[in-house]
Amino acid sequence: MNELRHRIEKEARSPADGPQVAYVTIGEEADGQRIDNYLLRVAKGVPKSHVYRILRSGEVRVNKGRVDATYRLQAGDVVRIPPIRVAASTASQAHVPAASFPVLFEDSHLLVIDKPAGVAVHGGSGVAFGVIEQLRQARPEARFLELVHRLDRETSGILLLAKKRSALVGLHEQIRGNAMDKRYFACVAGHVANARQHARFPLFKYSTPDGERRVRVQADGLPSHTVFNRVAAFPDFTLLEAELKTGRTHQIRVHLAHLGFPIVGDDKYGDFALNKALARSGAVPGIKRMFLHAHRLGFTHPGTGEPLTVSAPLPPECEDFLRQLGSAGARSGD
């Protein structure tokens, strides 16, 4: 699939060479995918209207026959794809550098990495590229590689990717059924009195006047549920483990801010004066990032059906912050 995308982009850059019809044999990675979604994926930058036009006109054929947009591809299908011109802005976009990330687990179905803070999971919203684009560059032989879920740019920890479409579909079913056990470490300002606390606050997504995506607690928002377990208490801070029972955008961050315990370093919902003080050079205690880390993920392996749990250690800067807090005296979360 990457090879086809490269061919399409090459035609867009070099029209003098003469566009060519592409014939693609569908592999396991696209088995079961709708043809319209397949075309939109391999021809990124092409307007949806154009993709549907070439489908309606019969320029796209499967096994020499016409199909409509709802046709689901099968492994072994031969797809005729006419010359497609991608938008000039897409063809001339900045080069995406290949990058590797610490691998926590990998087999023929899955890739699980430890994402560092400050790295977006995908391009968009002012970000030229992210983890997924860099991994595809680093693994040109990969016929399929897709994000199963997402992490905020400033959140570190476990990021799950699928190497087969069947794995992606199966894992998405687990997410929709709340069958994944997602756990995060968060260090918050203030003393959390409860050893275990349920937060059930509906969350509403909106955009600020400058287009920034935000979330707030609002009565007509989506039902959202997080469970917080106290791990360790310090004089002015508390280390929590958050269990996600639903997976809303910014859920942990907004729930904690609403409870009055903003996450250390959170630049959207946090205590901005405290963040500035902690990030000051030489500050003790000090930290220059948001303290939110996806540390454990449990799910059913989509290929074997066996339970699988993956863990990611706290990053050094978070460990160092806890050591600084510990020197001031810590109380057990129990």
Instruction: Report pLDDT digits (tens) over 309-326.
Output: 999 999 999 999 999 999
What's the pLDDT score for residue 333? 52
Band of pLDDT at residue 227, cut at 50, 70 and 90 = very high
Q: Which residue has the higher pLDDT, 134 or 89?
A: 134
Q: Distance (Å, rounded) from C-alpha 308 to C-alpha 141? A: 26
Band of pLDDT at residue 42, cut at 50, 70 and 90 = confident
Is the model's pTM score more than 0.85? no
The yes-or-no answer on residue 152 being catalytic is yes
Q: Which residue has the higher pLDDT, 35 or 124?
A: 35
Mean pLDDT of 146-159: 96
What's the pLDDT score for residue 330? 52
The catalytically annotated residue of 36, 77, 152, 271 is: 152
Q: Distance (Å, rounded) from C-alpha 192 to C-alpha 226? A: 15
Q: Distance (Å, rounded) from C-alpha 12 to C-alpha 19? A: 8
Rounded to 10°, the helix 48-56/35-42 angle is 130
Is the distance from CB of 312 to CB of 157 less than 8 angstroms?
Answer: yes
What's the pLDDT score for residue 161? 97
* Domains defined along the chain, listed by start: 2-91 (3.10.290.10), 103-332 (3.30.2350.10)
What's the pLDDT score for residue 201? 98
Mean pLDDT of 165-190: 95
Which residues touch 327 (CB under 8 Å, ≥6 apart)?
none
Mean pLDDT of 102-127: 91
